[in-house]
Amino acid sequence: MKAATRTVRLDLTEPLRISRSVMASRDAVWLSVEHGGVTGHGEAVSSVYYGLDAATLRRRFADAARELGRYPDPAAALESLRAGELAGGATPPAVRAAVEAALLDLVGVRAGRPVHRVLGFREPPVVATARTIGITSPLHAAAQARALTASGFQVLKVKAGLPDPEEDVERLRVVRDAAPHARLLLDPNGAWTPRRAAALLPRFAALGVEAVEQPVAPGDPEGLAALAERSPLPVIADEDAVGLEDVRRLAGRVHGVNVKLAKCGGVHAALRIAETVAGSGTALMLGCLTASSLGLAPAVHLAGLARWTDLDGHLLLAHDPWTGIGGEDGHVRTSGLPGLGVEPRAVRLGRRAAVGAR
């Protein structure tokens, strides 16, 4: 097998502000793996929080490409990756997830089957996704909420975590007024102290918030579990639930864990987490980083496992260079094409132009 990479810049439609940062763009590195004239694709994106820049991603992909050359076919490479041999050791989870995605895409395309069928799921997932409203003015947040629900979004996720919590309460209140029938999720990204969280959560519960992600700073899972035990609304671990061992410590003690493939290491790791929490009282949330449709597609094939789905990263982009998972109407879905089911937008547009010219 042969592999190649390409780096692109993904610009957001507008800067996204959360409690710890503001993001206007990020780099994406695409991995292409070719075998027998068929190519599979995966994507990893840069992240300050996870300490990954484009140069690091390219270097790690180059290491994985050299390893891939030793395998006779993508199925053998997938087996080795899941055994911790290929892209193991110090390989960042985001890189491992992208390598696995490219191999799954390749296996699916060669077999003529979408990835969810390769994984053993019969029905193609079609699920409502949350849409994120960042830390912004109440006026802008209300306008976004009205526009999004008019487009079909049933779930809105509101970012929080300002020094003055009354600003967060006001933002949530105007979103509730503008979208009275929407399901609301809240995400302070770990900005609150346990005392502040305990004081604020009843107020947000009274405003109809369905669940809160990582209300307190990561690093104290025992404290998060204690908060969840007395919280008036479900608490979902995110930054405190990075991988399988974190989830094992929290299973049955928090109401949910946010599984991001770039955080846990890919599809196989996410499936192991799902098995771990099954029957524990802890539900799955499928989350994402801001990325293209290519980066989000592997998680879409798992979306039937989740109680909460937050796969809107591609919808925040000014231009998504890939297409195939939808989301613009509030629902992500698999396309029915083999593999991951996505393709470069230029290919889709070219095909439509050719059809129209006939």
The DSSP code sequence of 46-84 is -BTTTTB-HHHHHHHHHHHHHHHTT-SSHHHHHHHHHTT
What pLDDT score was predicted for residue 346?
A: 82
Whether the per-residue pLDDT at 78 is higher than 60: the answer is yes
Whether the per-residue pLDDT at 25 is higher than 60: the answer is yes
Cα-Cα-Cα-Cα torsion 135, 140, 141, 145, nearest 10 degrees, comes to -150
Distances (CA, A) of 212 to 156, 227, 235: 12, 11, 5
The DSSP code sequence of 212-275 is EE--B-TT-HHHHHHHHHH-SS-EEESTT--SHHHHHHHTTTSSEEEE-HHHHTSHHHHHHHHH
What pLDDT score was predicted for residue 188?
A: 98
Closest Cα to residue 208, out of 158, 281, 142?
158
Phi, psi of 198, deg, nearest 5: -60, -35
Dist CA 273 CA 246 (whole Å)? 10
Q: What is the mean pLDDT of residues 44-54?
A: 96
**Residue that has been written with the tokens 């610009």 in this structure:** 11
Give the three-class secondary structure for 294. Answer: helix
Q: Which amino acid is located at 113 in the chain?
A: R
What pLDDT score was predicted for residue 348?
A: 61
What pLDDT score was predicted for residue 89?
A: 87
Whether the per-residue pLDDT at 352 is higher than 60: the answer is no
Counting residues of the chain whose pLDDT is more than 90, the rounded percentage is 95
Whether the per-residue pLDDT at 350 is higher than 90: the answer is no
Counting residues of the chain whose pLDDT is more than 70, the rounded percentage is 97
Dist CA 346 CA 315 (whole Å)? 17
Instruction: Tell me the residue length of the chain.
Output: 358
What pLDDT score was predicted for residue 135?
A: 98
Burial letters for 243-265: b for 16+ Cβ neighbours within 10 Å, e otherwise? ebebbeebbebbbbbbbbbbbbb
At 253, list the tokens.
């003690």
Whole-prediction pTM: 0.94
Whether the per-residue pLDDT at 353 is higher than 60: the answer is no
Residue 281: Cβ-neighbour burial (10 angstroms; 0-12, 13-18, 19+): exposed
Max CA pair span of the chain: 66
Q: Residues 207-223: pLDDT tens digits?
A: 999 999 999 999 999 99
Q: Residues 268-313: pLDDT tens digits?
A: 999 999 999 999 999 999 999 999 999 999 999 999 999 999 999 9
Residue 301: Cβ-neighbour burial (10 angstroms; 0-12, 13-18, 19+): buried
What pLDDT score was predicted for residue 349?
A: 52
Residue 104 · residue 269 · CB < 8 Å:
no
Distances (CA, A) of 227 to 20, 137, 187, 197, 239: 21, 29, 15, 8, 15
Distances (CA, A) of 68 to 29, 31, 34, 37, 87: 17, 12, 10, 16, 9
What pLDDT score was predicted for residue 354?
A: 46
Whether the per-residue pLDDT at 355 is higher than 60: the answer is no
Residue 256 · residue 284 · CB < 8 Å:
yes
Q: Residues 142-158: pLDDT tens digits?
A: 999 999 999 999 999 99
Whether the per-residue pLDDT at 357 is higher than 80: the answer is no
